[in-house]
Amino acid sequence: MLGRRARDQGELVFAGSLRELIPGDHVLVRVDRVLDLGWLRTEVADCYAAGSGRPGIDPEAAVRLMLAGLLLGIVHDRRLMREAAVNIAIRWFAGYGLTEALPDHSSLTRIRQRWGAERFRLVFTRTVEACVAAGIAKGEVVHIDSSLVRADVSWEAIARKHADAVEAANGPTEPVCRTAPDASLATSNRARRVEPAYKQHTAVDAEAGVVLDVAVTTGAQHDTRNVEGQFDAVRATTRVPIRIATMDASYAITCVLAALEARGIEAVIPAKAERPPKRGTIPERRFKLDAKHRIVRCPAGKVLRPHGVPDSDGFQHYRARIPDCEPCCLRAICFSTTMRRRAILLHKDHPALLRARRKYAGWGPRERTLYRCHRRQVEGVHGEAKTWHGLARAIRRGLANMQSQAFLTAAVINLKRLARAAMMALLAALAVGAAPGSTQHRHPSPTGSSPARCAIQTPAAILQQAQGVGITPRPWNTAAPRCGGP
């Protein structure tokens, strides 16, 4: 017969943990197994007045609410708290009961302002240390790249700073954003229009795609300005010297290549070829720089000496003497007839650029494999953060708020990597345990006395044991989600 169910139910009475109502393979359950924020209260204690004022929100509960929002793709606090009111998984993850009142969304904003970006950097750094301790990040092979993040401003907010006064004296002015001055107009593709944006610089480990370091700057800052700081930050966090660093061609400039050589790091960077010289001009690569004595020798063996002082980027003008150039047999192919002597502009570390070009010309399968891994890993992290965790656009205005968002997003990505590693470790432990339905394989004993036995379970037996401890792994015949989505 046709059934009917009354909708005016009475008040729900629930005894037990909310965890019993949440599936074992839910992303918040998987992350909770590897998340430890017991240290946080001590780190933020100086942000609160001791013994006065009303009790604030528990710091761990606040961070868990923020992490839950990013894990589920809910990046705005107002929407997050509306979802938490009806979502028992978020309530359980943050430590709130079924009928317990949740904090107002504005409280999370006040907490971000009170703590500052450095407290959220600590949360991110702890996840990196946990990944290193778990063995899924080593810090030896690092991929570095940057990505633009659209600022939370409208085009109506773009203005020209002091336009009337400056244009009258110096010509056109630079556009600035009135509501978010830290965001500058930038674009990652000439085919796209410039937009107010920040720039996130990311260092990713090659082992499992763990984010090792994140830095946020204005969108107009060049990619190479923050590289040396990231080298030092990665080594300080992982406590392991970097052996190999991969970057794209935009990082193939002299100062970056010299910094890599000074640190003993192998650079896998597609160095840009030298610009073709003007017709009738000997290319600069034929000139030999002696940085120790600050001289340059031309192909004819003559000396070019410094002219003027080096600029702020380390470039120095060198020029030859007129008496040396006039009788030179290479004058006709060295410089134009309108000049009386040869002058060139070189960086103080120009030999590092020449070595990088020679190395790139001789790339083999190893270097090409590393560079393909670079594109897959670091660009995959950027795509994951923007697609799944709301980093396609800044949530709030200001460089400090953007840094907090970047740190929490990177922490979420690392927690997902750590949760996956914990799941794989559990399945591996279950796979070697004896259980009904397992098959026995014999392997030689290290001592040679008698064969050792290793139980290899069938997939059905592993799934049955995993479900018995409250875990529901993905089916064995399905592929993992792309980009590590929740």
Please report, for the chain, the start and end positions of each structural domain, with discontinuous segments joined by +: 18-115, 122-273+361-417, 292-348, 433-484
Phi, psi of 42 (to 5 degrees): -65, -35
Average pLDDT, the chain: 82
Phi, psi of 306 (to 5 degrees): -60, 145
Looking at the whole model, is its pTM more than 0.75?
yes
Q: What is the DSSP letter of 104?
A: P
Please provide the CATH number assigned to the domain covering 122-273+361-417: 3.30.420.10
The residue written with tokens 């790091």 in the block is 265
- Residue 468 tokens read as 């018995």
Amino acid at 408: L
**pLDDT attached to residue 442:** 38
Q: Are 297 and 290 in contact (CB under 8 A)?
A: yes
Concatenating the DSSP letter of every residue in 135-183 gives TS--SSEEEEEEEEEE-S--GGGEEETTHHHHHHHHSS--EEESS-TT-
pLDDT in tens, 120-157: 999 999 999 999 999 999 999 999 999 999 988 876 66
Distance CA 125, CA 180 (A): 27
Where residue 316 falls among pLDDT bands split at 50, 70, 90?
Answer: confident
Q: Are 176 and 219 in contact (CB under 8 A)?
A: no
Q: Which of 71-85, 130-144, 157-171 has the lowest mean pLDDT?
A: 157-171
**pLDDT attached to residue 434:** 41
Q: Which contiguous run of DSSP H or E holds residue 381?
A: helix 365-388
Where residue 484 falls among pLDDT bands split at 50, 70, 90?
Answer: very low
Task: Give the mean pLDDT of 60-87.
Answer: 95
Amino acid at 353: L
pLDDT in tens, 442-471: 333 333 433 333 333 333 443 444 444 344
Distance CA 147, CA 133 (A): 28
**pLDDT attached to residue 137:** 94
3-state helix, strand, coil in the chain (%, to 5): 45, 15, 40
Strand segments, DSSP code E, in 11-160 are 141-150, 158-160
pLDDT in tens, 362-418: 999 999 999 999 989 999 999 999 999 999 999 998 899 999 999 999 999 999 999
> How many CA atoms are closer than 13 Å to the CA of 353, on its beta-carbon side?
19
Measured CA distances, 156 to 108, 148, 159, 160 (Å): 28, 20, 8, 12
